[in-house]
Amino acid sequence: MYSGGLILLTFLMNLVLVPVVLFYLLRDWNNLIRQVGELIPPVWQKQIFTLARETDDVLAEFMRGETAVITIMSIYYVTGLWLVKLEFALPIGLISGILVFVPYLGTITGLALATFAAITQFQEWSGVIAVWVVVGSGQLLESMLITPRLVGERIGLHPVAVIFALLAFGQLFGFIGILLALPVSAVLLVLLRHLHTQYMETMRE
């Protein structure tokens, strides 16, 4: 009981503190960047600033790609569940599509909600199975085609590399690894490009 209350209290404190921290970060962002820049030795500033700008561009492309994936999968789930005549196709489809930002969470949540709704609505198992087919095919479509294409290509990763990154990070770090696989891979890709460029310049000298 004590631990449960402590967890709830911590959650509520974070809920209050996060917006406050974000407000001050956004308000003083330019000053913070300038102060951090002053801590960097002048001889390294050009290279580090270039690296930071490229990393920011890659992460921005990652967010745009994820937004496109969320939009497409929301439309897919709403349409698919509507076609199998699920009464709550709109809210369940939207929730499932929005949560694809967190790998597998959208599928798990959508499958649970859609299954519960289908069991209470349909009299036969054929309706429930049809819902499972929609959700399952959506997961395959998103993980094997849409995310590798819309996110991977935007951040410069081959679709096969996207799938491999998700599998490798998931195996090494579990759920958190799956969540961070693509943005971390994008940042590592930027670093590797710079290292390759420096290596080639050294070879020419």
24-58 in b/e burial notation, b at 16+ Cβ within 10 A? eeeeeeeeeeeeeeeeeeeeeeeeeeebeebbeeb
Q: Which amino acid is at 164?
A: F
Q: How much is the pLDDT for 136? A: 92
Instruction: List per-block mean pLDDT (blocks of 10 residues) for the chain, which spans 205 residues.
Output: 60 72 75 75 74 78 86 93 91 90 81 91 88 92 84 72 73 71 76 73 67
d(CA 121, CA 87): 8
By three-state DSSP, how is residue 88 classified? coil
Question: What is the pLDDT, as a whole number, of residue 187?
Answer: 75
